[in-house]
Amino acid sequence: MSESAPVRRRFSTGTTTADLRQYMGPFAERLGYKFNTDAGFVEEVLTSEIEILDSTGDVFCPCRMRTGDSKEDTKIICPCIPFHRDQFAGLKKCWCGLFILKEVDDGLELLGVIEEPEGPIDVPVFRVDDLPDGQIRHVKVGRQDIAVARVGQEFFALSNVCRHAFAPLGEGFMDGYHVMCPWHGWQYDVRDGTTDHPGADVKTYPVSVEDGEVRVRMPHAR
Amino acid sequence: MIEPTRGVRVSVTLYALSTCPYCRMTRKYLEDSAVQFDLHEIDLLDEDARTAAVAKVRELSGGASFPVIVVDDEVIVGFNKKRIKELLGL
C-alpha cells in the first residue's frame, strides 16, 4: 500500500462546468430546485466548484469550509440540499445561491438574501410520483427524521421514530391509514400519530401538495 | 448600538473563502463603500493558520458558512447587505 491514499475523485479529470450542470440539474430538480436563473452567477459558482474539485477531489460548496471530518463534509458536497432542506426552503435557495426553488422566477432577487422568514416553512421533500400509493418512506428535514406516507392521493407526515424502541417507521408496513412499526409491530395512525399504546403518540406535520411536489410544514426553529 | 462611523471607531473584519461568490460581493461592497476592514481568506491560509481561523469563525458564527462579517461585537453570517448598512451607517 502506498503511504498516502490517492484522492478519490467523484468526477474525472477535466470535468467542465457543463458536465456539472448536466449531472446536478436532474438531481436538484427531483429535490424541488433548479439552477439560478442568472446564468453568469451559475457559471461563477460552478467554476469555483471545478477549482475545488481539482484540489480536493469533490465538488464541495464554495461558500462553506471543509472540516476534514468526512461525515460532516459530506453535508456540503454540492448539491447539498438534502442536508439543509429546511434552511434552504426558508431562503428559497441553497446557501451559495446556485440552486433556487422551482417556483422562484428571478434568482437575482435572492442574491444577498440570507434572512429566513418567520413562521413555519413548507419544505419540499419529493415529488408525488416518487411515493406509490400505500407506501411510506423516511426523509431527513434539517435535524428531524420524518416518515411520509401515502394513502391514495393523500400524504401524511409523522415522526420517523417509533416511541417503543426507536425503530424507523419509514421502513414500516402500511395498512390503510396505519403504519406498522418494522421492529415490533406497534401501529400508528398516520393522520394524527396516535397509537393504542398509552402516552406513545408521535408528532405529525401538515403536508401539502403543490405543482406535483410534496411539502412538509416544519416549525421554523432549527 | 454602534455609531455609524464608517470605519473610524468601528472595527470591521471579513472572514471569507476565495471560492465564494457572496464573499466576493461582500468584499466589493465594503470596498466600494470605502469601509476599512481586515480580510481573512481562510482557504488561502496555511494549515495551522486555517485551523485557527476556522475555529475562530465557528466560535463567532456557530458554523463554517461564509462570508462572516464582524462589526465590533456584531456577527453577520452571509452577505446581508441590509444589516451591514445598518451597522455601518452606509
Closest by Cα among B16, B43, B44, B45 to B29: B16
Between CA A69 and CA A72 the distance in angstroms is 5
Alpha helix locations (H) across chain A?
17-30, 39-56, 70-73, 85-91
- Please state whether the peptide bond connecting residue A79 to the residue before it is cis, i.e. omega within 30 degrees of 0: yes
Closest by Cα among A85, A206, A74, A76 to A144: A85
pLDDT digits (tens, 9 = 90+) for A147-199: 999 999 999 999 999 999 999 999 999 999 999 999 999 999 999 999 989 89
Whether residues B22 and A96 touch (CB distance < 8 A) is answered with yes
| Cβ neighbours of B66 in A, within 8 Å | 63-65
**A54 to chain B, closest Cα gap in Å:** 13
Whether residues B21 and A51 touch (CB distance < 8 A) is answered with no
Domain A123-218 belongs to what topology?
A: Rieske Iron-sulfur Protein (2.102.10)
Mean pLDDT of all residues in chain A? Answer: 91
First to last CA, chain B: 15
Query: What ipTM, to 2 d.p.?
Result: 0.81
A187, A201 Cβ separation under 8 angstroms: no
pLDDT digits (tens, 9 = 90+) for A22-66: 999 999 999 999 999 999 999 999 999 999 999 888 999 999 998
Domain A17-117 belongs to what topology?
A: Ferredoxin Thioredoxin Reductase (3.90.460)
Sign of CA dihedral B1, B16, A140, A27: positive
Whether residues B21 and A97 touch (CB distance < 8 A) is answered with yes
| Cβ neighbours of A64 in B, within 8 Å | 17, 64-66
Domain that holds residue B83: 19-88
**B38 to chain A, closest Cα gap in Å:** 19
Q: Does A52 touch chain B (CB under 8 A)?
A: yes
Q: Does A79 touch chain B (CB under 8 A)?
A: no
pLDDT digits (tens, 9 = 90+) for B5-47: 554 558 999 999 999 999 999 999 999 999 999 999 999 999 8
Whether residues A64 and B22 touch (CB distance < 8 A) is answered with no
A34, A106 Cβ separation under 8 angstroms: no
Question: Is the predicted pLDDT of residue A113 greater than 90, yes or no?
Answer: no
Q: Is residue B14 part of a domain?
A: no
Q: Which CATH number characterizes residue B62's domain? A: 3.40.30.10
Q: What local confidence, expressed as pLDDT, does residue B8 receive?
A: 55
Strand order in the sheet with A187-189: A173-175, A178-180, A187-189
> How many domains would you assign to chain B?
1
Q: Domain ranges in chain A?
A: 17-117, 123-218
A98, A46 Cβ separation under 8 angstroms: yes
